[in-house]
Structure 1
Amino acid sequence: MSSKSYFRYWGKARPQDCGGVQLHLLPYHCLDVAAVGLQYLRRAPAFRDFLGSRMHANDKLAQEQWIAFWLAMHDLGKFSESFQSQRPDLFEELRGRRPDASKVYTLRHDGLGMLFWNDKLERYAVDNTWFGLPTKASARGINYWVSAVTGHHGQPPEPQPCGRWKNHFHWQDDPPAIFQFADDLRELIFEGREASIPTTLDPDAFEHASQELSWWMAGLAVLADWLGSNTDYFAYRAEPDDPLPLREYWAHAKKQAAIALDHTGVLPLHPGGALPFESLFPRITTPSPLQSWAATTVLSRGPQIYLLEDVTGAGKTEAAVLLAHRLIAAGQADGFFIGLPTMATANAMYGRIAQVYARLFAGNASLVLAHGQRNLVEAFAESVIPSGPTADDDQQLDESASIRCNAWLADHNKRALMAPAGVGTIDQALLAVLHSRHQSLRLLGLFRKVLVVDEVHACDAYMQGILENLLAFHAAAGGSAILLSATLPQAMKEALLRAFAVGCQRDAPVLASQSAFPLVTSWHSARPDDTEETPIATRKDVQRTVAVDYLTEESRVEAVIDAALAAGQCVCWMRNTVADALDAFALFRGRVPADKLTLFHARFSLRDRLLTERRILDLFGQDSTPSQRQGQLVIATQVVEQSLDADWDVVVSDLAPIDRLIQRAGRLQRHVRDRHGERLQDPTAGDQRGEARLYVFGPRWTASPEADWFKAAFPKAANVYAHHSQLWLTAKALQAGCFAMPADARSLIERVFAGDSEIPEKLEHNANQAEGKSYSDASEAQQNTVKLGSGYVRGGIDWWSEAKTPSRLGEASINVVLARWDLERLLPWCEHEDLRHAWAYSTVRVAERLIAKSAEPEGAARKAALEQALLTLPGGGKWCVLLPLEKGHQGWTGAAWSKTTAQRPEQRLSWVYDSLSGLCQIEQDGEDNE
């Protein structure tokens, strides 16, 4: 029998009704996780060097040992009797006695680990001079490392009053086991060397460095725990009477960790040399001026930020990818993440990046991006951190690492953060600096990547505040950023640059009052006093004057669309709300052939959204033909205004702020074509479809509007663009009847957004409310974001829900998963051989006030089927609403409960879904503003 009492503790366990080895000994699991972290450091040396540089430690072996030791300590709380007693059968088998009934598992093991450190182990470490640092300042620094690793559930451990350890730990058994394990672990990991990392700095500097590094260390702890818990790589071992010595198991764990990391997509890839523009983008025969600048601008070492402002259609995305590629090839970055405003724009961008991805990373295209959008869910998702088997044991009160991992990975957009080349929504990046679960994993995913933010002007005050904090964190870790915009107010530009410089511990860059457009603004941490503002020429085919017809009656909009369709043109009417889009769709349904009419908004299942995006790009993309385009009408919301490379002959838009209208006008005659709609490949050719004309549908123009000027005309959109004075200023600018791009871009933006334009008296109240909300939103962003200097600590804040600290304000929304009744069986709405993908494809995002919880079906059989379906959803359905649909005379219909609000109690609302209209409330409440 082993004399090591720590071999009498289980770390992982299978449910009792599962076959095979029932448990994995706790010391082995601790070493599994440490081994993953150690191998990650060796495969991602830039991350190891980042940690070492902040600690002023050049000894790479010492860095690796320091990190591995703390990762091995991540599950201290599992040594508690209260945790172990969750499985009394295993407890009795291992310990030969029944568990103490007074030790109740009321505090999760991450909090228990921090509690035991504070109450017992810290003093033991000091008394035994673990790190040769007996001072209080040194101890405070060590506490951040403990918090980072015990917080491997994705949030810092919950603080506990001193002296509570005896409520959870057996006073006679558990401390000696922990002390013995820690001593043996130190001897094993440090190989008899001094744990020298804390001595590289004075105690105060060590504490400050530990605070900052704890954010990224926590991310590594989450990742290492996930992979170290995957039984595909770390099989259970349960031989307490004849255990494998720690040293032998450590060698085994390191080999398995290397295999586990080889099978994931989280490690940096080896880039090839810098490629010229024509090799990356062979379809573009002549680079735009912006793209030529990106190919030749002088790079530097260290963090750097670029703001690229150019007209829509000028090739900003390709310029950003080229610039990111050059930074990667120069050894200044290991990958990139492109964050876009919406899922629709992210999916569209995904297809564009797919064409160049394989060229970016020499000899390794494991992310299967080239398979395109139809494989978004399967191919891309499975290529980064494959899901492991789930050990779902209902006897264990806290979730297993495999459950947490699989639930997080089920949101495939999140995986993009971990990939060397990722495309997703900006929200996934913003959550890296919010009090949300697993924010540290997002920070780790963004480490040493070029952060590319497209359509950055689309950020409101709240999102801008979060983005500023993200830029500070990203710069502090040595990352670089590229921000893209067709139009960017000067004040916003200054704030974003200032935030990045703060992260580099530099003074705010000084900008000239630059009126040029297009313009590139760049700042380098290596040259902090040299802010470059470079005017860029405009490609000839995007220089144009857009005529504007301001329409105030819906009948005139109908007439314009009817005339265009009759002339064989293709049309897009961009509406501001889903409800308005549905009204317009109903207006033309039956008048326009079904194969010529498309509705596109955010409330379709993921599968139908992907199919609609593909249809739009096929019909109106670069390679679309006259026969495909002729007589086509698209009714859409904002999902088509950004990053979608589509081109319509005629565009109608509801009145929106001028920056949005400029974006929407970018989809008007976007590609150079002849008068029939045939694409012209000659770079010197001009568009032959006649004058580009944007039709704007808005309230009747008046220089002296009433307070309800906009709301009376567009009640459903009044809260979408709540700053009605900006809408009035936009309408005023449009009365000129045209605008020139790029000549008028800067003046138009500043005229509407600079804040010094005179507005009518009756709109002042609305303007004051909107400005007040903007300041309030910016303040809330500061409140909701984590602070680099505070370290990875709880601070009395609930980190559980992303909805409680959202990446954007406004109505809370929730994932609604559509299902369909097949007699008494409940199946995913979308069919797929892999159940996880079927549920993912069946998901749609809806305002929580409309759908908050499932309506219970009638009959015991259906109730049981619903419960069974929930168990197959990620996280057991905790973070979504399952909406069962049944086919009837109205189509596929279902019911769900709305959320109780101050205005109304919860209601049982009825819904209908079809692939043409999306998810619609059967009795519209008139308040649906998504």
Structure 2
Amino acid sequence: MNNFWAKKIEKDGRLFWLPLNQHLEDTANVIGLLWEHWLSQGQKNLIIKDVGDDENAKRFTQLLGYYHDIGKATPAFQTKKSYYQSDELDLSLIEKLEKDEFSDISLLNLTHPNRSLHALAGQALLESYGVNQSLSSIVGGHHGKPVDDASSVVMQLKSYRANYFQEERENQPVHQKWKKYQKEIFDTGLTKFEFNDVNELPEISQSSCIILSGLLIMADWIASNESYFPLINLEDDGLDIDQETRLMNGFTSWFKTFLWEPESILDVSTTYQKRFSFSPREVQEKLASAISSSKKPGIFIVEAPMGVGKTEAALVAVEQLSAKTGRSGMFFGLPTQATSNGVFSRVKSWLDSITNDTRQNQSLKLLHGKAALNDESSNIPRATGIDIDEEIDGSVVANDWFQGRKTGILDDFIVGTIDQFLLSALKQKHLALRHLGLSKKVVIIDEVHAYDAYMGQYLYQALRWMGVYGVPVIILSATLPGKRREELIKNYILGSGKKWRDTIKPDNLTTQETYPLITYNDDGVVKQVSDFEKKENKYVTVHRLEDESLLTVLLTSLSDGGVAGIIVNTVKRAQKLYQLISKKIGDKNVELLHSSFIATHRIKKEKQLMAEVGKGGTRPIKKVIIGTQVIEQSLDIDFDILFSDLAPMDLLIQRIGRLHRHDIHRPHKLQKPHIYVLGTSEDYEFEDGAKAVYGEFLLIRTQYFLPNKISIPLDISTLVQQVYKEDDLVLGEVYQRAKEKQRKLLLKKECQANTYRLENPNTRSQKNMIGWLKDSTVHNTEEYGSAQVRDGADSIEVIVVKKQLNGISLIHEDVSLDISAKAKQIARETLRLPLALSAKWTIEDTIKELEKYNMKYLASWQEEPWLKGTLAIVLDDNKQFTLNGFLLTYDEQLGLMYEKGGKNG
């Protein structure tokens, strides 16, 4: 058995290997230390529930680590060529086997060696020894994807016997020798981890299988890292390795942060003062009280207006829920990269306070496509290896091991885009790692009203899986339609194993219009907190306005100065309005913000707006700010007067939230808040862009229920519930057609989402990992996954630079850049292409053309780490580029413009 190899490599003319028994030992030891020092108590409890007690659970987990590569003890694996095709290395290892009486293995020529890859081979061998499928399927899936059906395992030892035993005939000595050594590994594992026989191995639930699968993959990757667990010289048989020293050296090189185990909060007021330097407000206090009084907390939905401190409420709730449920970290999900970046600073400040209390390192990560370009995230100190028993001063650090695309979700504290959570419901390779990372944490999902019906399907299923793991979830929203509120809590409770019909719930769960509102479950009981003190309301006067009158009303309103906001539904409409208004009042008095600016330009614009019209801003005498949905989603800015395209009621209210947001002095004419709503129509003939973005049905209902005066926050929930109710309105054929169109659209989106969406957890037919990822997406990139859970919209991002005589420059510069020296700076210059170029019917052609262009003109970029894998366009002297039949033009005032008619190439 000592002559089987697990890893081999030739480096600088020297030959190295790692015996299989050593790698099995390393992985079993690492997974044991992960059980002790990394896995949260909440995760352990899930396994312990199936296995019996902590000691048995740890032994069982280590046995998995020991068995994970048993499939490498086969001719199919042992005759594999080395990665860099080192004939000398391969021949030397084959000679070791021949000396060990595996006769003629050098002459072996297997017909289908790849039909028995070592993970599958391991599962087949274990099942041949009587191991139950919950354990064997974890081994079979430890390279990221479990087998799709049990029959593929059964046929292995029948159809591919030579892959396992070299000689198909059972009476041949070499056949018996392979069998003997394989069984010896199996028996050694049982003995080593104190199981008397195979019948003592417990059968565990599917959810436990997934957590252990993720933990096994993690342990295997750590144990396979040569920096932690080095290979040995080929001449060395490995018998003299000091196992304890090897383990401690390897694990402590990887180990960077202590397991966060917060104590219960006894005084909420003291915690708020310590963390944020203020006393808790009513919503914050009542959420903390609901958590404190709950015996088995699950999901908490907080609906409250802007400015009440929902973020801080959620962060303190993380501390409370972690202590109650044995969680050891947090995931904070937001709709966009911009909102993620904005919250990251606040989370870091909160975590700094925690590390000061505990005097222990905690690792914080920003997780989205451009996180590496965020300076605050990049400037967090890199963690160095620490002694497990060492006492140190605590600080927020970054653990480099978690910088990988698939390991990022395993970090302790994460702020990221909602995709990172929704991906837990998408069938993709290595999904168990995502479940492992999330199941360790408390999950916060912010701005839930921003997620459409398609994304909602992934959100519901992800919540169902959080329910099965007992992961506490905090949902934050300005307000939610009652039906969505019910679906969120229903899916979580169904995941926890309870029947919805048996759940005790308020009669008015979907019709409750009290605001603010906290809805949560305590085990099988749904409760609501609605007794909030009545706050002083802000009365907003609503006017309906034709586009033709916009300029007149705007100029009249600002005759004494003031800041006006104009929020419209499409980029093209925003650009046209900018051109119209800036001609009248000058470029300096008008600002444009939308998603079609290069990222660095947009960030600069956002910072400038925050400095001028954010809280405590300098506030110009006269300013018009024109923008799209990016303003309603992410910026804490304040308008004296607001103009807005008609949008669904919840989003319209979000926009109104930027009107008279702060308590400041205002021009005489703008003392009271007014909103002018554009795009209403008596015959419900809406502007094409609005229809494309939101559909006619919700626009009709919003227009119908839109009052002449809105009381904020009193009317918020009532108005949203009215628009999203499933009742009928007598509004003629146009409404009925729109209603039917909406019904079909929602059904289509649900069907589309179901294509690659994960099945329900722990069903009667799913007691292990077999078939868990059946029919999974063949695309295994995170970029594709994010596009999938967001319905593919806006999914192509390109770097945009400008052509110069001697190379390229940034858009706003005329000096040629050294690509290598400025690669990171160039990587920031990104832009999402318009839907016309990234819609389902055109996206493939666009990508093909981009790849062809980049291969021809920018091939050297792939040599740069910051630019590898990116696509770029180089604008000509007129700042133009032709792509897939569209002429793209970039203007620093207007952003990206496009028109059909450009020539390809």
Partner of 1:693: 674
For residues 598 and 778 of structure 2, the distance between their equivalents in structure 1, rounded to whole angstroms, comes to 29
Which deviates further from its counterpart, 147-156 or 438-447? 147-156
Cα distance in 2, alignment partners of residues 27 and 583 from structure 1: 69
Partner of residue 428, structure 1: 420
Residues in 1 aligned to 2:830 and 2:384: alpha-carbon distance in whole angstroms: 19
- TM-score, normalising length: structure 2: 0.81
Contact 1:92–1:98 (Cα < 8 Å) also in 2: no
1:587 deviates by: 3.3
* CA distance 1:299–1:149, change in 2 (3 Å): farther
Whole-Å Cα distance in 1 between the matches of residues 383 and 734 of structure 2?
A: 58
Answer whether contact 1:547 1:738 (CA < 8 A) is retained: yes
In the alignment, which residue of structure 2 is the partner of 1:216? Answer: 211
SS of residue in 2 equivalent to 1:751:
helix
* Closer, same or farther: CA 119–744 of 1 in aligned 2, 3 Å: closer
Give the equivalent residue in structure 2 for 1:52: 47
Aligned to 2:99: none
Residue type matched to 2:728 in 1?
A: S
Q: In the alignment, what sits opposite 1:901?
A: none
Could you tell me which residue of structure 1 aligns to residue 693 of structure 2? 720
Q: Residue 626 of structure 2 aligns with which residue?
A: 635
Structure 1 segment 163-178 matched on structure 2, within 5 A:
163-165=158-160, 171=166
TM-aligned CA deviation for residue 316 of structure 1:
2.1
- Aligned partner letter, 2:463: L
Q: Does 1:41 align with 2:56?
A: no
Matched, 1:853 2:851: no
SS of residue matched to 2:543: strand
Distance 1:249 1:605 in 2: 55
Q: Secondary structure at the match of 1:647?
A: coil
- Letter paired with 2:776: I
Structure-1 residue corresponding to 2:393: none
Structure 1's 624 and 156: CA in aligned 2 closer, same or farther, altered over 3 A? farther
Q: Which residue number in structure 2 is paired with residue 658 of structure 1?
A: 649
Offset of 1:882 from its aligned partner?
0.9
1:727 CA displacement: 0.4
- 2:823 is aligned with 1:841: no
The one-letter amino acid of 1:517's match is Y
1:432 Cα deviation from its structure 2 partner: 0.7
Q: Given that residues 798 and 873 in structure 2 are in contact (C-alpha distance below 8 angstroms), is that contact kept between their aligned partners in structure 1?
A: no
Return closer, same or farther for 1:795/1:167 CA change in 2, 3 Å cut-off.
Answer: farther
Aligned twin of 1:809: 791
Per-residue deviation, residues 461-483 of structure 1 (Å, max 9, x unmatched): 33222222222211211211111
| Distance in 2 of aligned mates of 1:408 and 1:823 | 41
- What are the superposed Cα offsets for residues 200-237 of structure 1, whole Å, 9 maximum, x if unpaired? 75xxxx2xx342222222322333344334444333x2
Tell me the secondary structure at the aligned position of residue 482 of structure 1: strand
CA contact (8 A) 1:570 1:633 kept: yes
Partner SS, residue 869 of structure 1: helix
1:885/1:221 Cα in 2 relative to 1: closer, same or farther (>3 Å)? farther
| Alignment correspondent of 1:67 | 61
Q: 1:664 to 1:417 in 2, by over 3 A?
A: farther
Q: Distance in 1 between matches of 2:25 and 2:378?
A: 28
For residue 535 of structure 2, the aligned residue among 517, 536, 540 is: 540
Listed one character per residue, the Cα deviations across residues 103-156 of structure 1 (whole Å, up to 9, x for unaligned) are 589849xx7124323554532xx1xxxxxxx4xxx5333332223424379999
- How far did 1:302 drift? 3.5
Alpha-carbon distance in 2 for matches of 1:276, 1:283:
12
Aligned to 1:183: 184
Q: 1:164, CA displacement in angstroms? A: 4.9
Match of 1:646 among 637, 660, 664: 637
1:808 maps to amino acid? R
Distance 1:497 1:376 in 2: 36
Tell me which residue corresponds to 2:442.
450
Alignment of 1:119-130 (within 5 A): 119-123=124-128, 126=129
> How far, CA to CA, are the matches of 2:467 and 2:373 in structure 1?
30
Q: Aligned partners of 1:386, 1:268: CA distance in 2, in Å?
A: 15
The one-letter code of the counterpart of 1:92 is L
Q: Does 1:520 align with 2:518?
A: yes
Of the candidates 537, 551, 564, which is equivalent to residue 558 of structure 1?
Answer: 551
**Contact 1:277–1:322, Cα closer than 8 Å, also in 2:** no
User: Aligned pair in 2 of structure 1 residues 841, 812: CA closer, same or farther (>3 Å)?
Assistant: closer
What SS does the corresponding residue of 2:486 show, helix, strand or coil?
helix
Which of 911, 915, 919 is residue 888 of structure 2 equivalent to? 911
Note the alpha carbon deviations across 1:494-522, whole angstroms, 9 max, x for none. Answer: 22212111122223242222332222112
Q: Alpha carbons of 1:539 and 1:578: their partners in 2 closer, same or farther (altered >3 Å)? A: farther
CA separation of 1:785/1:809 partners in 2, compared to 1, >3 Å: closer, same or farther?
A: same
Equivalent of 2:666, from 672, 675, 681? 675
CA 1:520 to 1:796, structure 2 compared with 1: closer, same or farther past 3 Å? closer
Q: How much has 1:374 moved relative to structure 2?
A: 9.9
Q: 1:57 to 1:210 in 2, by over 3 A?
A: same
Question: Amino acid of the residue matched to residue 773 of structure 1?
Answer: L
CA separation in 2, counterparts of 1:662 and 1:478?
Answer: 34
Alpha-carbon distance, 1:640 to partner: 2.1
**Distance change (3 Å), C-alpha of 1:569 and 1:435:** same
Letter in 1 for 2:705: A
CA change 1:332–1:671 in 2 (3 A) is: farther
- CA distance in 2: counterparts of 1:773 and 1:506, whole angstroms: 31
Whether 2:349 is the aligned partner of 1:355: answer yes
Question: 2:331 is paired with a residue of what secondary structure?
Answer: strand
- Specify the alignment match of 2:117 in structure 1: 112
1:209-288 residue pairs with structure 2 within 5 A?
Answer: 209-235=204-230, 237-245=231-239, 248=241, 250-263=243-256, 268-271=259-262, 274=265, 276-277=268-269, 279-280=271-272, 285=278, 287-288=280-281
Range moving further from structure 2, 487-496 or 46-55: 46-55
1:4 aligns with 2:5: no
- Asked whether the 8 Å contact 2:454–2:753 carries over to 1, the reply is yes
Question: What is the number of residues matched between the two proteins?
Answer: 831
CA shift for structure 1 position 552: 2.1
1:674 Cα deviation after fit: 1.9
Question: How far is the alpha carbon of 1:307 from its aligned partner?
Answer: 1.5
1:384, 1:465 → 2: CA distance?
Answer: 38
* Aligned-partner residue type, residue 341 of structure 2: N
- Please name the residue that 1:617 is paired with: 610
**2:93 aligned partner, one-letter code:** L
Q: Measure, in 2, the Cα distance between the counterparts of 1:352 and 1:765.
A: 46
* Residue 916 of structure 1: how far off its partner (Å): 5.0
User: Contact 2:463–2:495 (CA<8 Å) still a contact in 1?
Assistant: yes
**Cα offsets for 1:277-326 (capped at 9, x unmatched):** 46546767564321221243334343422111122333222222222222
Is 1:335–1:421's contact at 8 Å kept on the other side of the alignment?
A: yes
- Please say if 1:147 is aligned against 2:131: no
Q: Choose which of 723, 742, 749 in structure 2 pairs with 1:777.
A: 749
CA contact (8 A) 1:657 1:730 kept: yes
Kept in 2: contact 1:306–1:521 (CA 8 A)? yes
1:166 and 1:154, CA in 2 relative to 1: closer, same or farther beyond 3 A? closer
Question: For residue 394 of structure 2, what is the aligned residue in structure 1?
Answer: none
The residue aligned with 1:400 is none
**Of 574, 582, 588, the match for 2:575:** 582
Residue 714 of structure 2 corresponds to residue 743 of structure 1? yes
CA distance in 2, matches of 1:415, 1:563: 56
Q: 1:660 deviation in Å?
A: 0.5
Equivalent residue number for residue 758 of structure 2: 786
Change (3 A) 1:50 1:382: farther
Deviations 1:68-112 (A, max 9, x none): 33234444566615643554423224324997795589849xx71
Specify whether residues 698 and 786 from structure 1 end up closer, same or farther in structure 2 by C-alpha distance, changes over 3 A only.
Answer: same
Structure 1 pair 831/338, CA: closer, same or farther in 2 (3 Å)? farther
Distance 1:242 1:460, change over 3 A: same
Superposition TM-score, scaled by structure 1 size: 0.79
For 2:671, the aligned partner's letter is G
Q: 1:855 to 1:461 in 2, by over 3 A?
A: closer
Write out per-residue CA displacement over residues 29-49 of structure 1, whole angstroms, 9 at most, x where no aligned residue: 554444443222111251662
Residue 602 (structure 1) aligns with: 595
Deviation at 1:176, TM superposition (A): 5.5
Contact persistence 2:299–2:489 (CA under 8 A):
yes
Question: Equivalents in 2 of 1:152, 1:615: separation in Å?
Answer: 47
CA–CA separation in structure 1 for the residues paired with 2:60 and 2:186? 12
Distance across 2 between alignment mates of 1:660 and 1:652: 14
Q: For the structure 1 residues 798 and 310, does the alpha-carbon distance in structure 2 shift closer, same or farther, using more than 3 Å as the test?
A: closer
